[in-house]
Chains A and B, each alone.
Chain A
Amino acid sequence: MQILVDGVAHEVDVEDDMPLLWVLRDELSIQGVKYGCGIAQCGACTVHIDGEAVKSCQVAAADVWGEVTTIEGLGQPDALHAVQEAWIAHQVAQCGYCQSGQIMLAAALLAETPDPTEAEIDEAMGANLCRCGTYPRIRAAVKTAAVKLKEAS
């Protein structure tokens, strides 16, 4: 089957029910996407499909309905997305393992809700877990990113 990831079309030969997460990580070596739980609890595996944040451990390869964007397609160290810039400015990461998913979730939130309230941030970001407890910094970084994105638009 064909899947489009970060602007590149890939032909993959996998079972229909292989989760997108493992297609990305093990078949395409896109490892910014992380495995944490496999049961939609942690969000470490969050990617976008046609701009919508989804947990890639819950999407079967055969069901991928659009273009996949991973953390590596969102921005790169030398071409950062505004959310990534905010994450760096606030030094959000500790172990960093959850942060690809957090950043993808925040980017999708801000694309839909450019000016989220505290409650909207908590509600949306509540889909993901951070075992290191970087939540105060995630909140602050989402707010900074919102300002940056508005300035840019």
Chain B
Amino acid sequence: MGKVGKIARRAFLIGSAAVAGGVAFGVWRVKTPWPNPLEQGLAEGAATFNPWVLIDAEKVTLITPHADKGQGVAHVQAALIAEEMDIEFGQFEISFGQPDKAYWNRALAAEGAPFLATDEGFTAQTARGAIGGLIKLIGLQITGGSSAVPDSYVKLREAGAMARETVKKAASEKTGLPVAELKTAQGAVHLPDGSTLSYTELAGIAAEIAPVTDVRLRDRSDWRLLGKPMQRLDIVAKSTGTQRYGIDIDLPGMVHAAVRVNPRQGGALNRYDASAAEGMRGVQKIIEVTGGVAAVADNTWRAFQAVEAIDCDWGPAPYPAEQEAHWAAVAASFTEERLDSTWRDEGDAGVATADGTVEAEYRAPYLAHAPLEPLNATVRVTETAVEVWAGQQIPRQLQVLVAAITGHDADQVIFHNQFMGGSFGHRLEFEHVKLAAEIANQMRGVAVKLTYSREEDFAHDFPRQIGMARARGAVTGGKVEAIDLQVAMPSVTASQMGRAGLPGGGADSQIAAGVWNNPYALPHFRMRAYRVPELAPVSSWRSVGASAGGFFFDCFLDELIHVAGADPMAERIRLMAHDPSRKVLEAVAEMSGWDGPRPAAGKGRGVAFVESFGVPCAEVVEVSVVDGAIRIDKVWVAADVGVVLDPVNFENLVQGGVVFGLAHAMNCEITYADGMAEQSNYDSYEGMRIGQCPEIFVRGLENGAKIRGIGEPPVPPAAPALANAIFAATGKRLREMPFSKFVDFA
């Protein structure tokens, strides 16, 4: 098929318009697209039109490179392509593909710029373009920041449309009929005489012709799949126990490994004695790894038992041993030297600091991610290649880090991404994959599956950063007048990017997230962010900075509203300066009957609004006091994502996000003692069980200018809405999570 000669011609990426925006730096390289990885190793007679569609004589494969942690993004990516490609579920397979620069994340790139998501002005857009160019330069393929849908929305539909038009052109060449007389449906080209040619039949011809790149996307009103309830591709497998995850990898001759790494994260292994473990049944090898030991056995449980039997002497933690010292470090960081950035400074902040004003201090603890599937990775190292099976969200960086351990080139690392049993940010990290690579590198030729025990997973969770806020505010004439809010946190971005070997730098917007980006028009508002010196290593936790910042800002606003004697809903709506945001507040007001009868005695209702990842989200929580304990009865949520691609999955993710936010606010924290996390399993980090789960009513709005992801935005408003509801019911202000320190939950 003359494949080699055609590579240059097909080496394009769709949607290069995304880099428009007047980027001065590196324009030429930015505009040079990464080659289509599917061109390599393309079989005779197979056609690929772009990095997302592959057709051969047997089947159509759609590549869905965004990692699926349970958010259903494999399904959504496939649906975006299938919509334009006129192919039905069941007529194609999906593959996560190989990591490649071509799958760089445009949406996350755009949002790396420090401008309000609600700001569509020229400067903001230009900066987004510049940062986007940078991420494109390094080809950063990442799933995170609720960016999978925004990243995919246009380019995957274009990919589908290009595939469709190219196959039509192939059919035209085969039949001599003009393209205009051809139609597509159900994975086939339909000829005027009613006969059909399937896409797979046309693959051979399509591979020979230049792809059609000039396509127009269909109007929303013509969508067959998108915007309507869809049955998720993975739903049958996930309801029958047949979905396989990384932890289920089973390869010929595979051995099972367990690790124990210094629970004082980053601390050294001084010495160890493995004599008790060595003779245990099924144990094949004890291996020293970075900061700890590994046991390799013929069964996961035997490996767990063996590694527990190793007597280890651990060095001290490279951060304060006791939790109190962590808090002291945060409290000591509200100083000029530690000022990371003044994010907002409008009006006269002095108004908020005059006498007779309201003052409060807030705290948010360390939190573990603790997805239900413990961390695991399977690695096989040979002289010429390294194969890795794991669920991971930054696959190209994984290749680089693994290659550095085994001494291969990064492109010799073949990565098989896996469906994940949850992540919440946990699988943005690499340590477990690196440890598996260390073990496998010492057992070349053998596949090694490393499974963390739940206890090891907790001990080595890089938690959500702790943070504190100091706030002052003023009210006049029944209205909120001024807020001066300061947040101090360690930089999660610096901690995480440092481990990943990726560039960070600059002020960390995550210290300010959930506060600085609020779209209220307060007469006087100042927001200052302070960077706490690095403490325990920390990592992105579902909704990142906004999970704490949203709590700080919204609860303090609620305090001021009560001091002003205003209605919590009406005052938020009055202050709101962004139209789609006002509409989500109005929506939850209407859904919850806010303006109807007041809740009965012993009940309370709280509202909160937080914008994160460009999504305005408002929640109303209703609680009752039952025998002195708080019961969460109902939650109403409205969020604006611009376009709701699948209303069922949208509702599920919103409900899950609310549960996640409430659960951790209720009773979860990680604390350090003797340098180690004190919580080691779900008995000391329980979260929410079904009996505590409220009824959750969800509405998706579509007034926003851009399409957004919904994975994270429902999390930040949940904690403040709960705290505000508890105040309404009991008169007790909760300024520190978890709330179980101060109230009981039924």
Q: Do A and B interact?
A: yes
List chain A positions with a Cβ less than 8 A from chain B. 14-15, 18-19, 21-22, 25-27, 29, 31-39, 41-42, 44, 70-72, 75-77, 80, 84, 87-88, 91-100, 103, 121-123, 125-126, 128-139
Also in contact, A137 and B682, with CB within 8 A (given A96-B234, A132-B422): no
Nearest residue, chain A, Cβ from B298: A26
Interface flags for B381-425 (1: CB within 8 Å of A; 0: not) read 000000000000000000000000000000000000001111110
Give min CB distance, A114 to chain B, whole Å: 19
- B682: contacting residue among A14, A92, A129, CB under 8 A: A129
Instruction: List the B side residues contacting A135 at CB < 8 Å.
Output: 655, 659, 688, 690, 693
- A136: contacting residue among B70, B371, B372, B695, CB under 8 A: B695
List chain B positions with a Cβ less than 8 A from chain A. 69-72, 231-232, 234-245, 247-248, 250, 256, 281, 299-302, 370-374, 419-424, 451, 453-454, 648-649, 652-653, 655-660, 663, 681-683, 686-691, 693, 695-696
Instruction: List the A side residues contacting B653 at CB < 8 Å.
Output: 94
- What are the nearest 10 A-B pairs in CB distance? A32-B241, A95-B70, A133-B659, A97-B421, A96-B238, A71-B241, A133-B656, A93-B238, A22-B301, A135-B693
**Are A93 and B235 in contact (CB-based, < 8 A)?**
yes
Since A31-B250, A91-B649 are in contact, a sample of 17 more A-B pairs with Cβ atoms closer than 8 Å, ordered by chain A residue number, is: A22-B301, A26-B299, A26-B301, A34-B247, A39-B454, A77-B237, A87-B239, A91-B648, A93-B238, A94-B656, A95-B419, A122-B690, A126-B690, A130-B690, A131-B372, A133-B693, A135-B659
Nearest residue, chain B, Cβ from A26: B299
- B236: contacting residue among A37, A77, A129, CB under 8 A: A77
**Are A98 and B372 in contact (CB-based, < 8 A)?**
yes
Nearest residue, chain B, Cβ from A44: B372
Instruction: List the A side residues contacting B693 at CB < 8 Å.
Output: 133, 135-136, 139
CA distance in complex: A37, B687 (Å): 14
Nearest residue, chain A, Cβ from B373: A97
Instruction: List the A side residues contacting B72 at CB < 8 Å.
Output: 94
**Are A88 and B236 in contact (CB-based, < 8 A)?**
yes
- A25: contacting residue among B300, B370, B374, CB under 8 A: B300
Give min CB distance, A41 to chain B, whole Å: 4
**Are A95 and B683 in contact (CB-based, < 8 A)?**
no
Instruction: List the A side residues contacting B239 at CB < 8 Å.
Output: 80, 84, 87-88, 92-93, 96, 99, 103
- B373: contacting residue among A71, A93, A95, CB under 8 A: A95
Give min CB distance, B96 to chain A, whole Å: 15
Instruction: List the B side residues contacting A33 at CB < 8 Å.
Output: 241
- B454: contacting residue among A18, A37, A128, A138, CB under 8 A: A37
Q: Can you sample 23 A-B contacts with CB below 8 Å?
A: A21-B301, A26-B300, A36-B372, A38-B453, A42-B372, A70-B241, A91-B232, A93-B235, A94-B70, A95-B69, A96-B238, A96-B243, A97-B70, A97-B372, A121-B690, A125-B691, A130-B372, A131-B370, A132-B422, A133-B688, A133-B693, A139-B690, A139-B693
CA distance in complex: A126, B237 (Å): 24
CA distance in complex: A84, B373 (Å): 21
CA distance in complex: A128, B70 (Å): 18
**Are B687 and A131 in contact (CB-based, < 8 A)?**
yes
**Are B421 and A72 in contact (CB-based, < 8 A)?**
no
- B245: contacting residue among A97, A130, A136, CB under 8 A: A97
Give min CB distance, A18 to chain B, whole Å: 6
**Are B247 and A137 in contact (CB-based, < 8 A)?**
no
**Are B248 and A131 in contact (CB-based, < 8 A)?**
no
**Are B422 and A131 in contact (CB-based, < 8 A)?**
yes
CA distance in complex: A128, B232 (Å): 23
Nearest residue, chain B, Cβ from A121: B690
Give min CB distance, B195 to chain A, whole Å: 32
Instruction: List the B side residues contacting A126 at CB < 8 Å.
Output: 689-691
Also in contact, A91 and B241, with CB within 8 A (given A15-B281, A34-B421, A136-B696): no
**Are A95 and B236 in contact (CB-based, < 8 A)?**
no
Instruction: List the B side residues contacting A84 at CB < 8 Å.
Output: 239-240
CA distance in complex: A54, B652 (Å): 28
**Are A88 and B235 in contact (CB-based, < 8 A)?**
yes
Give min CB distance, B735 to chain A, whole Å: 25
CA distance in complex: A87, B686 (Å): 24
Nearest residue, chain A, Cβ from B71: A94
Nearest residue, chain B, Cβ from A73: B241
Instruction: List the B side residues contacting A91 at CB < 8 Å.
Output: 231-232, 235, 648-649, 652
**Are A133 and B649 in contact (CB-based, < 8 A)?**
no
**Are B373 and A36 in contact (CB-based, < 8 A)?**
yes
CA distance in complex: A15, B301 (Å): 11
Instruction: List the B side residues contacting A26 at CB < 8 Å.
Output: 256, 299-301
CA distance in complex: A2, B373 (Å): 29
Give min CB distance, A12 to chain B, whole Å: 11
Give min CB distance, B460 to chain A, whole Å: 16
Which of B302, B453, B693 has the most A CB atoms < 10 Å from its CB? Answer: B693
Which of A26, A72, A96, A135 has the most B CB atoms < 10 Å from its CB? Answer: A96
Nearest residue, chain A, Cβ from B281: A15
CA distance in complex: A73, B664 (Å): 35
